[in-house]
Structure 1
Amino acid sequence: MALTYQDVVTADLSPLADVSEVWKKIGERFGELKSAYEKHVRSALGNGNWQGLAHGAQQQKASATAAEYGAAKSEALAVASLLTDAYTELTGLQKAVRDLVHEAEAKDYKVDSSGKATYVGYDNLPEHERCALRLDPDHPRMLSEAREKAQTWTDGIAKAIKAVDIADQSVKRALARATTDGSPDGIGIGGFHARAEGDLAKAGTPDPDAGTKTDGWVSQGESSASGPGTGTSSTGPDTGAGKLAEAEAHADLGRATAEGSLANGPFKLSGGAEAYTGAKGSLAGGITNEGVQGEAGAMAGGEASAKGRADAGPVGFYGRAEAKAGAELGANAGVGVDGVHAGGEAFVGAKGGITGGADIGGIAAGATVEGWAGPGAEARLDAGRNSNGVWEFRPTLGVSPLLGGGLGFELTVDPGKVVDTVGDVANAVGDGIGMLL
């Protein structure tokens, strides 16, 4: 949304200079942390006394961490420089607007809250002089010239406001680019920006395709990538509290995720994708005050998924697609205050599936269809409340002697969204009744 006359003349730009100094100190501090980390952590564990796979993995992670500290310093100092440039440029352009207004006012033109100039010189004259002017044959010509000059002042002020808005958009682009990392360095895409540009004139230039973008849409996104790597973890059990015991092991060849959204008012598009290749296994079980549950699973191969959703106010449509290749084995059972969960599956080969559904006001229904190439079978039922507080009912059945598939249905209820929708409807009804009364 473009800046208005009031936005420009009333803005207090002094915080830009103050926060620039803070960002500069943050950058210097990250540089100190990088030096301390390399000296006291990375070097201490890389002195040759520790060898093996674990040492190699630790040194790889340590190298990435050190790189991110350095990248954080570069990003913070770039942001500090951009804010300094922004303060200098925006204050200069703001002063140009104010000077233009003062010059117009000194010549008997009044500038209103929208930046429109009007000649008021006649208003300051005594009544007898105004009467004499009205009788002057040149009065219509003088009025016309005053209106033309007023329009010239109005156009000049609008042009000066436009210059501030263009500079403001430039600052926005520069800051977004400085804090967006697209390099695989360090921890990969999505970390700190090691090559952030701190020159506003360079970093704030418009995108070549900026003219094709729809104004008003706001985008967000993030991504990550990792691997190869191995690891294990375990927790519990706490026999006194009946806490769940869990154990997990994985050998990852690679993992990548990405998600993003595009929103404009009540309209929102969102999506994500994930890919994994490697092997992993898990085992869990326990008795708690919330119920009894247990599960076991193993997988070796590759899997990928993608999902998307479109919302317009309380109405939404969603879709998912998944593909797997390899071998997997799993079983789970549980009963408790959140519902009932039970199922088992065994499969060797490749499978792919697609899910589609609709959501209205927090109540959603959908269906899943899968195609299998390879022997396997699956039966699953999830009924109850998930970790996000959404109540769900999901039965799934599948069988494949060699070629086959599976079919599933889902019905979910999100209490929070339902309450929000009911509240919105109630407010709309109340507004409508208020208009009739």
Structure 2
Amino acid sequence: MTLNYHDVMTADLSFFTDVSGAWKKMGERFGELKTDYETHVQGVLANGNWQGHAFGAQQQKASATSFEYGAAKAEALAIASLLTDAQTELTRLQKAVKDLVEDAEKKDYKVDSSGKVTYIGYDNLSPQERYTLQHDPDYSRLLADAREKAQGWTDEIAKAVKAVDTADQSVKRALSRATSDVSMDGIGIGGFNTKAEGSLAKAGKPDPKPGKEEGWVSETDSEASGPGVGSEASGPNIGKGKLAEAEAHADLGRAKAEGTLTNGPVKLAGEAEAYAGAKASAAAGITNEGAQAEAKAFAGAEASASGTADAGPVGVYGRAEAMAGVEAGVNAQAGLDGVQLGAEAFAGAKGSVGAGADVGGIGAGATVEGWAGPGAEASLNASKDANGVWHVGPKVGFSPGLGGAVGFEVTVDPGKVVDTVGDAAGWVGDGIGSLF
């Protein structure tokens, strides 16, 4: 069954903790039963007092029984691990959907029970304000712009819901595979699965497409728009912690493309984006998650490209950016997602390259920029991005005519750190198990 918006928003994922704990206890109990059986049944009968064909047949069956106790332990512990991974991943993706809905509502959009978004910013206008708006020469354009933005929110929410459904299908595959024994060990096919995989990332991968061999799997996505113009202003809304915000843009065009290439533990990913036009925005607000204020403007053209290469817990990344035009901005933010402080002003052209490495979810890197034109920049960043990765690092730059900037960055991906620790624990457990 495909999950829909209502399923995702109302799903209670808290029960995973109790169920996973029950499976773990079951696995540990099977391990105790294996020890007791080998000691008090199999071992006692093998004390040398019983010989012959009957003894040989009994010991063969006893060995199979002992093996199945061990296989039952492995299968139960794998399922416990899969359920823990499932709760972590599904909770993260469910939160991403809810965060999108919350962001849309903060900007005076309404999300219905099917995930469709509509703009309601004009609903609370007085009759006089409504009359004035309807006779505004830009009224039709404002309505069209609101509908376009509403459709954008609808598409983003649908994409996030699809991500939850994709993860849910992955959990289904992983649990099914964990409980399927296709080995002739023990009592043969149909017993407990001693080779059950406890990592959702490994066990939940889709089956290879018919007619294709295992190997590199690619995924791509792209989008483009423009030319176009638009603007939006709202606030204050004290109930939602929004003091005011405004945005305007005149786009000549924008384009974005991203893709991944995966083969087992090796994953290559890349992204490229380009924009030409002018845009400006300003916002300020105070909520229970923190306070922020920013203002920025840009006119010109900019482009960027980035890529990563991961092999298990080890990865490297690189990125390049180029800009020609005028930009200025200030920002200050403090809250649950970190602290950001910065100011910049520049006119001319600049290019930058950055590179770094990541081991087990903890990375370090550096950025170097070359500037042709007057400008200055200083920033301090300690914040979490949309994927839950923390970025910490300073950046400074200055140019009277020719100059540049340098920045350093440390990243921490909590999800990847947890996966690495889990894998390491699995390796240790396998190593200890092989000694007995």
TM (norm. structure 2) is 0.52
Query: Mind listing any 5+ residue stretches in structure 2 that lack a counterpart?
Result: 1-135, 152-181, 183-208
- The residue type paired with residue 327 of structure 1 is V
* Equivalent position of 2:78 in the other structure: none
1:258 maps to what in 2? 257
Q: Secondary structure at the match of 2:353?
A: strand
Does structure 2 retain, via aligned residues, the 8 Å contact 1:57–1:229? no
Counterpart in the other structure of 1:305: 304
Deviations 1:373-407 (A, max 9, x none): 00000000111433433222120000000000000
Aligned to 2:225: 226
Please state whether the residue corresponding to 1:240 is helix, strand or coil. Answer: helix
Q: Is the 8 A contact 1:325 1:349 kept in 2?
A: yes
Residue 271 (1) aligns with residue 284 (2):
no
Count the aligned residue pairs: 242
Instruction: Report SS of the residue matched to 1:216.
Output: coil
CA distance in 2, matches of 1:341, 1:269: 30
- Superposition pairs for residues 374-385 of structure 1, below 5 Å? 374-385=373-384
Give, in whole Å, the separation in 1 of the partners of 2:233 and 2:143: 20
Asked whether 1:340 is paired with 2:335, we answer no
User: What amino acid does structure 1 have at the position aligned with 2:269?
Assistant: S
Find the aligned partners of 1:219 and 1:433 in 2 and give their Cα distance: 37
Q: Which amino acid aligns with 1:266?
A: P
Deviation at 1:408, TM superposition (A): 0.2
The 1-side partners of 2:280 and 2:381 are apart by 21
Name 2:241's counterpart in structure 1. 242
Partner of 2:408: 409
Partner of 1:358: 357
Shift of 1:241: 4.0
C-alpha separation between the residues in 2 aligned to 1:363 and 1:255? 33
Counterparts of 1:237 and 1:435 in 2: how far apart (Å)? 65
* Identical pairs, percent: 64
Letter in 2 for 1:283: A
Q: Deviations 1:135-174 (Å, cap 9, x if unpaired)?
A: xxxxxxxxxxxxxxxxxxxxxxxxxxxxxxxx953xx8xx
What does the per-residue CA deviation read over 1:341-371, in whole Å, with 9 as the maximum and x for residues that have no partner? 1110000000000010001111010000000
Deviation per residue, 1:289-322 (Å, 9 max, x gap): 1222100000000000000110000111000100
SS in 1 for 2:431: helix
Q: Give yes or no for the alignment of 1:392 onto 2:396.
A: no
Native 8 Å contact 1:367 1:409 kept in 2: yes
Query: What residue identity is the alignment partner of 1:258?
Result: A
Whether 2:323 is the aligned partner of 1:324: answer: yes
Q: Secondary structure at the match of 1:389?
A: coil
| Contact persistence 1:244–1:288 (CA under 8 A) | no
Distance change in 2, residues 1:53/1:293 (3 Å): closer
Provide the rounded CA distance (Å) in 2 between the counterparts of 1:292 and 1:350: 33
Q: What SS class does the counterpart of residue 364 from structure 1 fall into?
A: strand
Letter in 2 for 1:405: G
Distance 1:53 1:258, change over 3 A: farther
CA distance 1:58–1:383, change in 2 (3 Å): closer
CA–CA distance in structure 1, aligned partners of residues 223 and 265 of structure 2: 28
CA distance 1:52–1:419, shift in 2 (3 Å): closer
Residue deviations 1:243-286 (CA, integer Å, cap 9, x gap): 35322111000101111111000001110100000000010101
Task: Give the SS at the match of 2:301.
Answer: strand
Tell me by how many angstroms 1:340 deviates.
1.9
Distance between the aligned counterparts of 1:218 and 1:328, measured in 2? 40
Three-state SS of the structure 2 residue aligned to 1:377 is strand
Alignment map for 1:159-308 (pairs within 5 Å): 168-169=210-211, 216-243=215-242, 245-308=244-307
SS at match of 2:215: coil
- SS of 2:434's partner is helix
User: Partner of 2:22 in structure 1?
Assistant: none
Residues 1:56 and 1:286: Cα distance change in structure 2 (over 3 Å): closer
Of 410-419 and 295-304, more deviation after overlay is shown by 410-419
Equivalents in 1 of 2:333, 2:427: separation in Å? 42
**Residues 75-116 of structure 1: per-residue CA shift (max 9 Å, x gap):** xxxxxxxxxxxxxxxxxxxxxxxxxxxxxxxxxxxxxx9xxx
1:63-86 per-position Cα deviation (integer Å, ceiling 9, x unaligned): xx9xxxxxxxxxxxxxxxxxxxxx
| Compared CA separation, residues 225 and 385, structure 1 to 2 (3 A) | closer
In the TM superposition, residue 415 of structure 1 has moved relative to its aligned partner by: 1.2
| Post-superposition offset of 1:426 | 0.2
Task: Go from structure 1 to structure 2 and tell me whether the alpha carbon gap of 1:54 and 1:256 turns closer, same or farther (over 3 Å shift).
Answer: farther
Secondary structure of 1:436's aligned partner? coil
On the 8 A contact 1:393/1:410 being kept in 2, the answer is yes
Counterpart in the other structure of 1:104: none
1:13-72 per-residue CA deviation (whole Å, 9 max, x = no partner) reads xxxxxxxxxxxxxxxxxxxxxxxxxxxxxxxxxxxxx9999679969x99xx9xxxxxxx
Paired with 1:375 and 1:53, the residues of 2 have a C-alpha distance of 41
Corresponding residue for residue 367 of structure 1? 366
* Gap regions ≥5 residues in structure 1: 1-49, 66-112, 114-166, 173-213
Greater C-alpha radius of gyration: 1
Report the alpha carbon displacement of residue 337 of structure 1 after superposing the two structures with TM.
3.1
Whole-Å Cα distance in 2 between the matches of residues 56 and 334 of structure 1?
30
What residue number does 1:68 align with? none
Q: Aligned residue for 1:121?
A: none
Could you tell me whether the CA contact under 8 Å between 1:227 and 1:252 is conserved in 2?
yes
Q: What's the offset of the Cα at 1:431? A: 0.4
d(CA) in 1 for partners of 2:140, 2:405 = 41
